[in-house]
């Protein structure tokens, strides 16, 4: 049996486009003599559809599209993912399902049994778990068809009380197929492949796995669909961050799979930083493309964060579609402006210079009756940041740009940013990168083409909102701060555990207090492109009012 795996980039709720892509892929697979083509989880609606699933019309249209696609399936069988209605009065109204399309109709349906309800996942909000995992027969081949999480309960510390494959294996399947929507994080590829390999070794069956690719706002899918033989050998790993269709021959008599057509056009990202780079390029490109926008604007300060974001935007959108606004204050160094001008030249992006000092003085004059003789402080610093935000949003509104936020994860974590100032924007590009990781990304970018001036990389970080200001005036050294934040946020280490790791108690209490008391700021930030296992946003839900320090 010749099997095609279709790793495609879908748009949430764009039924016309999604169905067209699926139909075109079916037609292409038929012309290549495939007997079966497999698409990812919830491909009809794209993943995650979230509360669109609460609209009856949305679900009805998904199922209507499935019926239309089924008509294309003559001489070929397709497996697609979609929400289906639970006919029983008990339980949730919907299933997360895989439908088998053959002979012009839907011939079988399998429901997802294990519904993830952690981190960014919220499937139990919408779906009822499938209670009857079973194999399906396609072209006389018995297939253990599962959906994403159904293969993930094989770890040493299982999250669920049962494993669907333990039931399906009793039906003597000859092949495992898993359709998935498995989001990217920089360490997830290795975890995912380890889980898949453990299933192959446990059940002694070959496995074909197909994943989404592309970005849906903050959630990025890296593709990387993969095929293993029954001995655990990886036969083929499909492209990362790009659409791909590959063809395989499955011999049911021997259980062997042969890769017969299609090549991986691009190398697998070689390490953490390259994976992050490609993920962010995908995230920016799809955010703009799927919203129908083309041009971006950002504030360029002469610091490392805005420098990295400007280069990423130029790579994702084309340098001709990126505009930088240089807004020096009375406290900006001459080097900051000079470095920014060198960067825009290297990156090939356009720029404008609007000094903020005249506007700042007008604000101070207007507030003089209220502020009186009170000393210059945080209020005056934040006014400057908000003037910059105002100028950027004015340009965004006037010319139709999307404003890119340039705050990093370290700053967002401890509240080192100004609401409605440097924290505004339509998309946070590096909000899931700690400051140290931003420097690593800058080095990676320059290893390909020296774009970011070395002086930007070497200078001490500063907001330049008061005389001789440095980030280190208010924050611990980023090398130490990032270690603490990583252990607290990604690894969920509590105060006592952090102290036992060797960090000073006073430092831990200071840092965690900053993190916890600034949840209200993070609640109002733009969506953050997720590249780690625990990003700010829907994957990390903490109370705005709460204490957890000792």
The catalytic residues are 41, 112, 148
The number of beta carbons lying within 10 Å of the beta carbon of residue 66 is 23
Q: Do 44 and 18 touch, CB atoms closer than 8 A?
A: yes
The number of beta carbons lying within 10 Å of the beta carbon of residue 481 is 24
Q: How far is CA 5 from CA 110, 238, 306, in A?
A: 18, 9, 39
The number of beta carbons lying within 10 Å of the beta carbon of residue 549 is 14
C-beta pairs of 386-390 under 8 Å, 24+ apart in sequence: 386/418, 386/420, 386/421, 387/327, 387/356, 387/359, 387/360, 387/363, 387/421, 388/299, 388/325, 388/327, 388/356, 388/421, 388/422, 389/418, 389/420, 389/421, 389/422, 389/423, 389/424
Q: Do 493 and 487 touch, CB atoms closer than 8 A?
A: yes
Nearest Cα neighbor of 263 from 242, 285, 279 is 242
What is the C-alpha separation between 63 and 19, in angstroms, rounded? 11
CA 298 to chain centre: 21
Rg over alpha carbons for the chain, rounded to the nearest Å, is 26
Q: Do 277 and 444 touch, CB atoms closer than 8 A?
A: yes
Contacts of residue 57, defined as CB under 8 A and 6 or more positions apart, other chains included, come to: none
| Strand, helix or coil for residue 159 | coil
Burial letters for 381-413: b for 16+ Cβ neighbours within 10 Å, e otherwise? bbbbbbbbbebbbebbeeeebbbbbbbbbbbbb
The number of beta carbons lying within 10 Å of the beta carbon of residue 523 is 11
What is the C-alpha separation between 178 and 210, in angstroms, rounded? 7
Burial letters for 1-19: b for 16+ Cβ neighbours within 10 Å, e otherwise? bbbbbbbbbbbbeebeebb
């Amino acid at each position: 049996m010749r099997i095609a795996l279709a790793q495609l980039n879908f748009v949430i709720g764009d039924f016309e486009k999604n169905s067209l892509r699926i139909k075109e892929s079916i037609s292409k697979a038929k012309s290549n003599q495939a007997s079966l083509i497999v698409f990812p989880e919830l491909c009809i609606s794209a993943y995650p559809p979230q509360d669109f699933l609460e609209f009856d019309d949305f679900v009805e249209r998904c199922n209507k599209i499935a019926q239309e696609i089924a008509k294309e399936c003559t001489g070929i069988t397709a497996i697609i993912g979609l929400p289906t209605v639970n006919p029983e009065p008990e339980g949730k109204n919907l299933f997360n399902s895989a439908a088998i399309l053959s002979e012009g109709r839907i011939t079988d349906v399998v429901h997802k049994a294990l519904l993830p309800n952690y981190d960014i996942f919220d499937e139990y909000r919408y779906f009822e778990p499938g209670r009857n995992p079973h194999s399906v027969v396609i072209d006389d081949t018995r297939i253990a068809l599962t959906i994403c999480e159904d293969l993930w309960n094989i770890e040493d510390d299982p999250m669920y009380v049962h494993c669907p494959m333990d039931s399906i294996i009793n039906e003597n399947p000859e092949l495992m197929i898993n359709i998935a929507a498995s989001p990217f994080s920089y360490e997830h590829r290795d975890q995912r492949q380890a889980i898949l390999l453990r299933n192959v070794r446990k059940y002694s069956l070959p496995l074909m796995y197909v994943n989404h690719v592309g970005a849906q706002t903050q959630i990025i899918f890296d593709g990387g669909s993969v095929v293993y033989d029954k001995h655990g050998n990886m036969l083929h790993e499909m492209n990362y961050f790009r659409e791909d269709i590959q063809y395989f021959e499955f011999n049911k008599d021997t259980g062997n799979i042969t890769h017969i057509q299609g090549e991986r056009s691009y190398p697998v990202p070689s390490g953490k930083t390259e994976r992050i780079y490609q993920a962010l390029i995908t995230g920016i490109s799809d955010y703009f493309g799927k919203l129908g926008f083309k041009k971006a604007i950002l504030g360029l300060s002469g610091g490392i964060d805005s420098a990295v974001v400007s280069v990423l935007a130029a790579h994702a959108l084309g340098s001709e579609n990126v505009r930088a606004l240089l807004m020096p204050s009375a406290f900006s160094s001459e080097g900051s402006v000079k470095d920014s001008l060198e960067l825009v030249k290297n990156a090939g992006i356009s720029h404008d210079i609007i000094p903020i000092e005249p506007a700042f003085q007008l604000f101070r004059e207007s507030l003089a009756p209220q502020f009186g003789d009170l000393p210059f402080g945080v209020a005056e610093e934040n006014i400057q940041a908000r003037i910059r935000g105002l100028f950027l949003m004015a340009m965004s509104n006037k010319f139709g740009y999307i404003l890119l936020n340039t705050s990093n994860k370290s700053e967002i974590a401890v509240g080192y940013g100004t609401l409605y100032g440097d924290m505004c924007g339509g998309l946070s590009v590096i909000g899931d990168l700690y400051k140290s990781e931003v420097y690593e990304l800058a080095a990676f970018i320059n290893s390909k083409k020296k774009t970011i001036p070395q002086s930007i990389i070497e200078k001490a970080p500063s907001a330049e909102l008061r005389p001789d200001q440095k980030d280190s005036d208010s924050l611990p050294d980023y090398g130490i701060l990032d270690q603490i934040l990583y252990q607290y946020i990604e690894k969920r280490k509590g105060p006592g555990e952090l102290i036992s790791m060797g960090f000073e108690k006073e430092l831990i209490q200071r840092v965690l207090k900053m993190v916890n008391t600034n949840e209200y700021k993070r609640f109002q930030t733009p969506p953050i492109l997720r590249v780690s296992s625990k990003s700010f946003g829907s994957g990390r839900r903490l109370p705005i009012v709460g204490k957890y320090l000792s």
